[in-house]
Amino acid sequence: MNYDPIFSIFSLLRCASGMSRERAKFYGLNDLETIILIHIGLLENPTQKSISEKLRAPKQTINNVIKALEDDGLIELIQDESDKRIRILRLTTKGKKNRDEKLRPIIEANKKMYERLGDEKVKEISDALKILIDSIKEDFEKEDEWKV
């Protein structure tokens, strides 16, 4: 069996990830902060849980970034009126200004990239990456079982 295509996929993912981090760093953000700020600005009533699920990232990792963004005054946590245990994430005035100054170019670049690729290609890439992530997750679960 030829495993070179899988190696190539992971090389491409590392390249894309590195480029994404560099782009975020250019605007004074780390990659995860950037992604979370974009989601808070775009999603309706985002919570730590909804962002964690959307990004398929550990809740603690998301919580650490949210805490840092809150400490920097970029977001605030507002108690949900229907469920007091839930905190809705909102951009502060400073966060909105930050988004407008720093994230706007990233958001615009993402829009242009989407337009270049088109709906169909974006869906294909997204679907393929979801399949890859599910496969990796499945392997992790099996590897965990194999541990002694």
Each residue's pLDDT tens digit, 91-106? 999 998 988 887 788 8
pLDDT value for 62: 93
pTM of the model as a whole: 0.66
pLDDT value for 2: 72
pLDDT value for 12: 93
Q: Of the CATH numbers 1.10.10.10, 2.60.120.260, 3.40.47.10, 1.10.600.10, which one belongs to the domain with range 31-117?
A: 1.10.10.10
DSSP annotation of 74: S
- Beta strands (DSSP E) in the chain are 75-79, 87-91
Residues of the chain above pLDDT 70, percent: 95
pLDDT value for 42: 83
**Rounded to an integer, what distance in angstroms lies between the CA atom of residue 90 and that of residue 50?**
13
pLDDT value for 101: 82
